Amino acid sequence: MIETLQLANFRNIQAGRVSPAAGLNLIYGANGSGKTSVLEAIWFLSVGRSFRSHLTQRVIQHQQPHFTLFSQLSSGDRIGIQRERSGDHHQLRVNGEPAKRLAELAALLPLQLISPESFSLLLDGPQARREFIDWGAFHSDPQFMLVWSRFRRLLKQRNQLLRQQAPARQISIWDQQLVQYGQWLTDARKRWVNSLNEALEGIINQFLPDVPIRVSFSQGWDSKTELQQVYSAGLQRDLQLGYTVSGPHKADLRLRVDNLPAQDGLSRGQQKLLVCALKIAQGLVLSQQQQRQCVFLVDDLASELDQQRRTLLLEQLQQTGSQVFVTAIEPEQLAMIPWDKRFHVEQGRITEQQDK
């Protein structure tokens, strides 16, 4: 949870300091005032990139050499990130010391984002859903990141050998390690999806009662075959194609309604609720298993959900006991929500509103 957030030269926010409440925080202001930028800054602190631009330079304030973000967390940890316009590395800090890896920041500040972009989770390819599973597995097991990156490196190496048409014998030597890490990853993912399913049930009952949604884990290869077998039996085909066809790198989360893919069986509004339910379930599992809360960022709530669904979402979020940041243009649209704190943003200046 964020106790204080300091921003400097981030988008149109030249300097800002926010001390949010532990519960529901509203960030409101006109179009272009800087609301999304505040959420983007929080996201950047944990993830090390933006959720709306691939170009990190874009978030640095025009005419400025760098941006700086800093946060005091309720765990007592302090995290910071700075990015120069020139050069392509972040400077990371954890508790006053330089940090090497972004994962150190991410582990301290678990986030879930609900934004117009995140509703494509059901429609996009499997990568977004795989990342969604891996988010949970990462936060539930400190080993996950290490195994995951070793697996990735080995897979890259295998693909390189396939492209070079290396002898089969040479490739299968590496496959043993790939199987070991891949199976470990798959077991961790499986465990997480099981827990997610349990948590999801209660939330779905609130969000989409009477809609028979089934969430299952697709591990990336035929579940009746051993991973070792997948690599060895597929080797000739992989050599022809020049890449590895099946395996844990193809894992996915399958969402079905009445045996139809969820995107076909649900209305647009229902799809959005399902995505919200999935994200809330992530937060719930984390708090059940780790006694840690994740922070929810909800961007442009009013433009995505109607009044009834907005209230439902915020009620559910409040029940998780998490810290929540919600942006909206018109605070009147959300007047019935019991905000713990409200912040007004105007041309990049953030001010806490005292009146209720």
Binding site for Mg ion (CB under 5 A): 36
Three-state SS letters, 224-264: CCCHHHHHHHCHHHHHHHCCCCCCHHHCEEEEEECCEEHHH
Measured from the CB of residue 26, what is the shortest distance to ligand ADP in angstroms? 13
What is the DSSP track for 139-178? Answer: HH-TTHHHHHHHHHHHHHHHHHHHHTT--HHHHHHHHHHH
**Interaction between residue 29 and ligand ADP (CB under 6 A):** yes
Measured from the CB of residue 86, what is the shortest distance to ligand ADP in angstroms? 15
Q: In the complex with ligand ADP, which residue's Cβ is closer, 27 or 204?
A: 27
Measured from the CB of residue 115, what is the shortest distance to ligand ADP in angstroms? 10
**Interaction between residue 293 and ligand ADP (CB under 6 A):** no
Q: 7, 8, 11, 81: which one contacts ligand ADP (CB under 6 A)?
A: 11
Binding window for ligand ADP (CB under 6 A); candidates: 52-60, 162-170, 224-232, 262-270: 52-60
Query: E-assigned strands of the chain?
Result: 2-10, 13-18, 24-28, 66-73, 78-84, 90-94, 97-99, 111-114, 213-218, 252-257, 260-261, 295-298, 324-328, 341-346, 349-353
The listed partner (Mg ion, ligand ADP, none) that binds 61, CB under 5 to 8 Å by sort, is: ligand ADP
Q: 2, 7, 25, 33: which one contacts ligand ADP (CB under 6 A)?
A: 33
Q: Phi first, then psi: give them for residue 103, nearest 5 degrees.
A: -60, -25
**Interaction between residue 54 and ligand ADP (CB under 6 A):** no
Q: 32, 116, 242, 338: which one contacts ligand ADP (CB under 6 A)?
A: 32
Pairing of strands 111-114, 97-99: unpaired
Measured from the CB of residue 34, what is the shortest distance to ligand ADP in angstroms? 4
For 82, how many CA atoms within 13 A lie in the half-sphere containing its CB? 12
Residue nearest to Mg ion (CB): 36
Point out which residues bind ligand ADP (CB under 6 A). 11-12, 29, 31-37, 58-62
